Amino acid sequence: MIIVDVTQLVIPQIIKTAIDALKSTPFDSNTLLLKCMFIIFLGLVMAGLRYVWRNLLMGSARDVEKGIRDDLFKHVLNLDMAFLDTIKTGDIMAHAVSDINHIRMAFGFGLIVLVDTILLGGATFAIMLLTHPKLTALAMIPMPFLILVTRTLGKKMYRFHKTAQESFSILTELVRESFFGIRIIKVFNFETIVGQKVRGASTDYFKKNLKRAVITALLRPLLGLFFNLSTLVVIFYGGYLVMEQVLTPGELVAFLQYLGILAWPVIAIGWMTNLFQRGMASLKRINTLLDSTPDVTSPETPHPLSSVKGNIRFKNVGFAYGKGSPVLSDISVDIHPGTSVGITGPPGSGKTSLVQLIPRLYNTTKGTIYLDGLDLKTLDLDFLRQQVALMPQEAFLFSGTIKENILLGKPLDQKKLDRIINVCNLKETLEEMPDGLETLVGERGITLSGGQKQRVALARTLILEKPIIILDDPISQMDSHTAASVISKLGRMNLNATFIIISHRISALAACDSIFVLKEGRIDHFGTHEALIKTDRFYEHSYRVQQFEEEYDI
């Protein structure tokens, strides 16, 4: 870039000598031809070097874009569930797509314009000043107005870009949510209302972008106006200086050439302002996300634990989401290694919240949870989660094949896979599918029924063979016959793992070593299946009702 800029400054000097040479007698056409050839040569050099630096700088800008996107994605993956519960997917998508693109533009084209403005603009101004200070001063009269306009409009550009990006986040989230819930929209004839909401968000984004476009549209014509005024001053006063023989015709032409060169850095100030204001606004938005730190982290010096037996102890544990009211209160319980524990209770009693504390998806707000006698918060987070296999309530599947969803990148052990498929009652289901395990499930497993998705998610959990296995309502979407078969086979797996299962179906918990009944975030009763039928009214009533429903297939 430096060589190109210096070469660009040399060309007007060659033109100056060529024009002044036209006055000489006798006229030397060979000299003029040589100067023309030299200008063509310099033009070719500049073209080649421009290709090189544009390739390198644009490549670097793309590299920066990739780096920020990779870092952003990695950072979001490391954030805890408490933070992710408060941010919209549309915001993250806007950061990862639109904001990063604006930063790339600021780093790529913005850097080019910045160097040209400082180097080319500064050197050009110095040459003009050396040629004729007064003429230069008169040519610069419009510049203070230019700076004032650029500064004023630049502030507006920053503000309008920030609001436009926020509007883009809302629009992105609305569109994403609408396509995700397209079946509900169609079933409930909700198209018109959803369409109005999206159109409203789109109109808002359009209007805010239009404000930004108005500023951009104002900048270039105003910059061009001020430059043309400067040209007018140079032609009139410079022509007078030539007639007075203060300047030669060649010097005036060179001066106009330098003014033309100066036009690019000056006009580019507006473009650079636009790019940097957008880039800074986007960078600020991304930094807000990157500066957020997870509450759930590994300790600086984690306690070493070579192997996990699976002894879990809750001691006076309390938990609340954010600043909300407590979801769990004073939970104290011991879960011995290798035992099976059932958890049930009315909806909203805190069952899911309780098991999510074991792999530290959330931190306890009160009390302590121990694993094999060690506080969970003293263990390395990655190590802890490698010991726990948790099947969440929502049977989420990735786009891909059934096998890919079960293995999740793990090495294939065909015998183990066949055994797990049998346990999860997937064998007959797979035989009915055209491609078996290689059947594509579509986005979020849309081609499978709810029960099929649950069984694939269950297989994904069991195949890990972790010391602690947690199943959160694993049979809620299965029919009673399939659910009974799956639960029966689970009981015969002879796993040495500590097994925790949450279910509203009492039949799924009957074989557990102990069962806890949660009510309003507290352990209301605990014991074996037989004992709870006698001592807990909720448990006994639920069991009788479900027995009746299963008997008559209701």
CA dist., res. 471 & res. 457, Å (int): 10
Assess whether 495 and 351 both reside in one domain: yes
Assess whether 20 and 89 both reside in one domain: no
Q: What is the pLDDT of residue 165?
A: 78
Q: Is the pLDDT of residue 267 over 80?
A: no
Assess whether 77 and 22 both reside in one domain: no
CA dist., res. 113 & res. 553, Å (int): 74
Inter-axis angle of helices 414-423 and 480-491, nearest 10:
130
| Confidence bin at 27 (pLDDT 50/70/90) | low
Residues 59-89 have pLDDT tens digits of 888 898 899 889 888 888 888 888 888 887 7
Task: Looking at mean pLDDT, say which of 270-279, 328-337, 434-443 comes out highest.
Answer: 328-337
pTM attached to this predicted model: 0.70
Has residue 503 been placed in a domain? yes
Domain carrying residue 24: 1-48
Has residue 3 been placed in a domain? yes
Has residue 171 been placed in a domain? no
CA 524 to each of CA 255, 346, 354, 360: distance values in angstroms, whole numbers, following the listed order:
91, 11, 14, 24
Q: Is the pLDDT of residue 376 over 80?
A: yes
Which DSSP helix (H) or strand (E) runs through 169? helix 143-180
Residues 424-471 have pLDDT tens digits of 888 888 888 888 888 888 777 777 888 888 999 999 898 888 899 999
Has residue 496 been placed in a domain? yes
Q: Which residues lie below 8 Å from residue 328, measured CB to CB, with a gap of 6+? A: 317, 318, 319, 320, 350, 353, 354, 357, 521, 522
Q: Are strands 312-319 and 374-375 parallel, antiparallel or unpaired?
A: unpaired
CA dist., res. 487 & res. 451, Å (int): 14
Q: What is the pLDDT of residue 369?
A: 95
| Confidence bin at 188 (pLDDT 50/70/90) | low
* Mean pLDDT confidence for 93-105: 83
3-state secondary structure of 122: helix
Assess whether 19 and 116 both reside in one domain: no
Number of domains the chain contains: 3
Number of other CB atoms surrounding residue 401 within 10 Å = 16
Assess whether 490 and 437 both reside in one domain: yes
The pLDDT > 90 percentage for the chain reads: 20
Assess whether 524 and 377 both reside in one domain: yes
Assess whether 325 and 442 both reside in one domain: yes
Has residue 75 been placed in a domain? yes
Mean pLDDT of the chain, nearest integer: 85
Assess whether 244 and 357 both reside in one domain: no
Assess whether 410 and 503 both reside in one domain: yes
Has residue 192 been placed in a domain? no
CATH number of the domain that residue 142 is part of: 1.20.1560.10
Assess whether 276 and 363 both reside in one domain: no
Q: What is the pLDDT of residue 277?
A: 78
* Mean pLDDT confidence for 343-364: 92
DSSP codes of every residue in 318-361: EE-STTS--SEEEEEEEE-TT-EEEEE-STTSSHHHHHHTTTTS
Number of other CB atoms surrounding residue 247 within 10 Å = 21
Question: Dihedral sign, CA of 69, 111, 263, 249?
Answer: negative
E-strand ranges in 198-355 read 312-319, 328-335, 340-344
Assess whether 3 and 95 both reside in one domain: no
Q: What is the pLDDT of residue 335?
A: 93
Assess whether 5 and 80 both reside in one domain: no
Contact assessment for residue 342 and residue 503, using Cβ atoms and an 8 Å cutoff = yes
Contact assessment for residue 132 and residue 180, using Cβ atoms and an 8 Å cutoff = no
Torsion of CA 233, 236, 241, 242, to 10 degrees: 130
* Mean pLDDT confidence for 102-117: 82
Q: Is the pLDDT of residue 554 over 60?
A: no
